[in-house]
Amino acid sequence: MSLISPIATKPPGNPDTVKVRLDSLTGLRWYAALFVACFHFAYEQSSSGTSLYNSRLKEVVYAGPSAVSFFFILSGFVLAWSARPHDTLTGFWRRRFARIYPSHLATFCLAVVTMAWMGKTLDPAIALGNLSLLQSWVPSRSDWWFGYNGVSWSLSCEFLFYLTFPFAVRLLLRLSTRGLWTVLALANLCVGLAPLCTRYIGPVTGWDSRFMLYIFPPTRLLEFVIGITVALLVKNRAWRGPGLVASLALSVLVAFGPIHIMPYDFSWSADTVIPYTLTIAAAARADIQGQPSPFRNRVNLYLGEVSFTFYLVHEIVIYSADHFLRARHLALPLTLYLGLVIAVSLVGAVLLHEYVEKPGVRLLSGGWRKRRAGAI
C-alpha cells in the first residue's frame, strides 16, 4: 500500500514548489522549543530567584504550553509537505520510528539515572507506559503522563499522528480546494470551542479538562490534521492568508496578551490555533516565494535541527539543576540560572542530536544497509 494513493484526484502540489526547502519552519521550531523550556523553568524550578521575579517570569511565559500546539500543527504540515508519492506504509512508519525513538530511549535512560540520583521512586508500570509511548492514553493520571522524562507525553500523541497520517492524507488529497478549506475551518472551530465541551463530557467520563484538551492524543489529532490541510493548500498554491510579519505579530500578540485574560483551559491551544496556523503557512510561503525571513539563517537553522533533542533534555536539566542547588542550599540570580539551564540543555541537545538521533535515523531507516551495499 502506497503512502499517497495513486488514484488521488489531484497531484500533491506543484513539483517545483515541493522541492523548496522550508528553512523558516525549521528555524521557528527552535523558538517554540525555547518557549516551552522557559515555561517549564518558570514553573518547575524552586531554588533561585525572588518571588517577584519568579512571578514576572511566569507571567511572561504563561502561554508556553501552547507551543506544543505549534509543534503538532507543524508536524502535520511537514509530513504532508515531504510525503513521497510511492512510499510504503512500513517505510514511512519505520522512518518516523527512527526519527524519534532512539532519542526518546536515550533520554528515558537519562531520566532513570537522574531520578535514582534524586532518590525518587521508579515505578515499573509507569516506566513501561513511557517506553511504549502509551502514557497519554491513561485518563487523569499525571504521574503517568509526566513520569520519567515528562515531556515525552507529547511523543505519545505523535505516535498516533504517525499511525493515522497515511490514511488521513489519502482522504484529504481527494478533496477539492473548497473541501480542504472546509476541513480547515471546521478543525480550527473544533479546537477553539473544545474547552466549552469539557463541562459536559467531564461529569460523564470522570476525565479532567487537562487530560481531555491537552494530553489525550485523539483530541490533539485535530491540530495535526490542520497542519496536513494547510500543507496541501500551500502545495497547490491555493493558500490565502496574511504574510509572515502580520501572522507572526498576531501569534506574539495573542500569546503575550489576550491569552492571559481568557479562561485557563483555552490557553493550551484554543486561543492560539488560528495564529499558529497562519504563521506556519506564512513562513512556508515566504520560503517558496523567496521573501525575507529572519528564521532562515545558519544559526537558526541548526538550532531548529536540534530543537527536538533540546525539547527532550531540557526538563531533565531543570530538575537536576534544581535538586543540586537545593541540596547544597545554593541560589543563583534568576536570569543567570535560566541562561545556564538553556546552555546546558543546548549542549546536551547537540550531543544527543549528533551521536544518537542522526546515527539512529541512519541505522533504523535503512541508510546503513544502503551504504554497505554501495561499498560492496
pLDDT of 353 > 90? The answer is yes
Q: For residue range 205-249, list pLDDT tens digits in order.
A: 999 999 999 999 999 999 999 999 999 999 999 999 999 999 999
8 Å CB contact between 342 and 61 = no
| Interatomic CA distance for residues 279 and 230, integer angstroms | 11
List Cβ neighbours of 348 (8 Å cut-off, separation of 6 or more): 309, 310, 313, 317
Closest residue by Cα to residue 101 from 346, 315, 361: 361
Closest residue by Cα to residue 248 from 270, 296, 290, 281: 281
| Interatomic CA distance for residues 223 and 188, integer angstroms | 8
| Interatomic CA distance for residues 288 and 285, integer angstroms | 5
Closest residue by Cα to residue 216 from 197, 235, 239: 197
pLDDT of 326 > 80? The answer is yes
The per-residue DSSP string of 264-286 comes to GGGTTTTTTHHHHHHHHHHHHHH
pLDDT of 2 > 70? The answer is no
Cα–chain center distance at 83:
19
| CA angle 174–175–176, rounded 5-degree value | 125
Which residues are 88's β-sheet partners? 2
Q: For residue range 19-71, list pLDDT tens digits in order.
A: 678 999 999 999 999 999 999 999 998 888 778 888 899 999 999 999 999 99
| Interatomic CA distance for residues 86 and 332, integer angstroms | 55
Q: For residue range 249-277, list pLDDT tens digits in order.
A: 999 999 999 899 999 999 999 999 999 99
Q: For residue range 158-181, list pLDDT tens digits in order.
A: 999 999 999 999 999 999 999 999
Tell me, what amino acid is at 289? Q
Predicted TM-score of the model (pTM)? 0.92
DSSP 259: G
In terms of residues, how long is the chain? 376
| Interatomic CA distance for residues 153 and 30, integer angstroms | 19
| Interatomic CA distance for residues 7 and 213, integer angstroms | 36
| Interatomic CA distance for residues 159 and 223, integer angstroms | 14
